[in-house]
């Protein structure tokens, strides 16, 4: 028994104009400062104004939103009493909007207590619209929320199937100006979602096809979008790929690369997509070394020919590494500029946080503590995983 959850998705050029057709009285737009600077907030407000919806804006969500920001935003929502909440941005503002919505409806909840294990009763005061302005996190179509506890230097994976948007806008107009580094980081995040969602122990027939398609789109169009930001087709395909990968993994599960990436990102403030994609080939090797060859399906789907599953899997791992190199992405922890001494000092905490990250539960191969430590060591030094 399992579920498949998805918002209504409006995608393609001009998708934003759908906002002018929604019905409601008040909308609170949750964003980060860049969304105002780039004029994206005004574009959204203009559409909502056509629908005669009064708007307010909170555009102070930081990267890696904190528990305090979520509490503050929820208090603002309670003052204005919106019937729509609009999460506008990359993963951080959208995840913050989800958490603020939950606390707006349930003031008794703590942000880190938003759990998929109990009924929250959301949707009585407001509904959620998500508008993605990066092509990676898939946050616009997922119910997962990543928050940061600055005291513990830890990322927290929370969320409930109820923290899912009613409407997701996937309009490529917002990603045409993304700089190459952000294009690469977010695109590799989408790739990690798709590969992990496919390989996870919780994989299922409904999510598999989405993951396959997303992997294919990323390999075909991410290099183009990175090399030429004006390539409109590549931009649109990558924007779709991110949402498709998001649907794929949220209805299956992400796994070990995300658990390790969350731990590293929380400790050293490395962008999410760069973190998780850095660990992806290492964790694929770790799984493959124990005979997990589900990756071979993905390899075949993108045209990597091999005589058997083991070699197909190795081909896919090599293709991931090649893509990361082609995109100038970090392939080791050391290459992020993290000193050996700082890494060593943090290693046990990294292991603590990774092994208690919710994303680890569906890993195709579960590392024990010693293996997890060795995986971090391999990723630090850029050495292949041979165990």
Partner 1 sequence: MAVKFGSPEWVQALQEQLNTSQAYADAAKNWEGDFYFIVDPEGALTAPIYLYMDLWHGKCRAAFVAPDKSAKAPAFVMSGTYSKWKKVVSAQLDPLQALMTNQLKLKGNMTMVMKNVKAAQEIVKACTRIETEFEM
Which residues are near partner 1 by CB under 8 A?
A: 1-3, 110, 112-113, 115-118, 156-158, 161, 201-202, 355-358, 360-362, 366, 368-369
CB of 194 to partner 1, least distance (A): 21
* Closest separation in Å from C-beta 196 to partner 1: 16
Of the two residues 155 and 235, which places its CB atom closer to partner 1 in the complex? 155
Q: Which is nearer to partner 1, 51 or 68 (CB)?
A: 68
- Least spacing, CB of residue 115 vs partner 1, in Å: 4
Q: 269 or 369: whose CB is closer to partner 1? A: 369
Task: Kindly tell me which of 356 and 383 has the beta carbon lying closer to partner 1.
Answer: 356
CA angle 118, 142, 24 (to 5 degrees): 90
- State in angstroms the smallest separation of the CB of 163 from partner 1: 13
Q: How far is the CB of 253 from partner 1 (least distance, A)?
A: 9
In the complex with partner 1, the residue whose CB is nearer, 62 or 355, is 355
Q: Give the shortest CB-37-to-partner 1 separation in angstroms.
A: 35
Nearer to partner 1 by Cβ, of 155 and 272: the residue is 155
CB of 157 to partner 1, least distance (A): 8
Cβ proximity to partner 1, 156 vs 165, nearer residue: 156
Minimum distance from residue 350 beta carbon to partner 1 (Å): 14
In angstroms, the CA 180 to CA 144 distance is 26
DSSP collapsed to 3 states, the chain: CCCCCCCEEEECCCHHHHHHHCCCCEEEEECCHHHHHCCHHHHHHHHHHHCCCEEEEECCCCCCCEHHHHHHHHHHHHHHCCCEEEEEECHHHHHHHHHHHHHHHCCCCCHHHCCCCCCCCCCCCCEEEEEECCCCCCCCCCCEEEEEECCCCEEEEEECCCCCCCEEEECHHHCCCCCHHHHHHHHHHHHHHHHHHHHCCCCCHHHHHHHHHHHHHHHHHHHHHHHCCCCHHHHHHHHHHHHHHHHHHHCCCCCHHHHHHHHHHHHHCCCHHHHHHHHHHHHHHHHHCCCCCCHHHHHHHCCCCCCCHHHHHHHHHHHHHHHHHHCCCCCCCHHHCCCHHHHHHHHHHHHHHHHCCHHHHHCCCCCCHHHHHHHHHHHHHCCCCCC
Judged by beta carbon, residue 34 or residue 366, the one nearer partner 1 is: 366
Residue whose structure tokens are 């005669």: 52
């Amino acid at each position: 028994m399992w579920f498949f959850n998805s918002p209504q998705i409006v995608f393609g050029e001009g998708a934003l104009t759908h906002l002018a057709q929604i019905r409601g009285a008040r909308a609170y737009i949750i964003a980060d400062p860049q969304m105002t600077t780039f004029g994206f907030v005004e574009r959204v407000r203009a559409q909502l104004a056509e629908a005669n919806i009064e708007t307010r804006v909170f555009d102070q969500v930081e990267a890696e939103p904190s528990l305090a920001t979520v509490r503050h935003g929820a208090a603002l929502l309670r003052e204005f009493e919106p019937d729509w909440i609009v999460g506008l941005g990359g993963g951080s503002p959208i995840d913050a909007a989800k958490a603020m919505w939950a606390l707006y409806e349930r003031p008794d909840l703590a942000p880190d207590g938003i759990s998929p294990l109990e009924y929250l009763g959301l949707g009585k005061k407001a509904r959620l619209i998500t508008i993605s302005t990066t092509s990676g996190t898939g946050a616009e179509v997922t119910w997962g929320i990543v928050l940061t506890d600055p005291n513990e230097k830890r990322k927290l994976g929370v969320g409930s199937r109820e923290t899912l948007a009613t409407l997701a806008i996937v309009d490529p107009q917002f990603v045409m100006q993304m700089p190459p580094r952000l294009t690469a980081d977010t695109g590799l995040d989408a790739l990690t979602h798709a590969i992990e969602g496919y390989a996870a122990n919780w994989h299922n027939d409904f999510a598999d096809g989405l993951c396959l398609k997303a992997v294919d789109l990323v390999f075909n169009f991410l290099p183009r979008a990175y090399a030429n930001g004006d390539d409109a087709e590549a931009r649109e395909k990558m924007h779709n790929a991110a949402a498709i990968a998001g649907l794929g993994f949220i209805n299956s599960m992400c796994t070990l690369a995300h658990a390790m990436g969350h731990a590293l990102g929380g400790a050293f403030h490395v962008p999410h997509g760069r973190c998780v994609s850095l660990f992806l080939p290492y964790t694929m090797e770790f799984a493959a070394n124990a005979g997990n060859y589900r990756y071979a399906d993905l390899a075949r789907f993108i045209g990597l020919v091999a005589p058997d599953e083991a070699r197909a899997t190795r081909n896919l791992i090599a293709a991931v590494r090649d893509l990361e190199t082609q995109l100038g992405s970090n392939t080791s922890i050391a290459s992020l500029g993290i000193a050996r001494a700082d890494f060593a000092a943090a290693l046990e905490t990294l292991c603590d946080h990774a092994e208690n990250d919710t994303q680890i539960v569906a890993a195709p191969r579960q590392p024990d503590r010693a293996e997890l430590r060795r995986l971090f060591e391999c990723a630090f030094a850029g050495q292949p995983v041979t165990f």
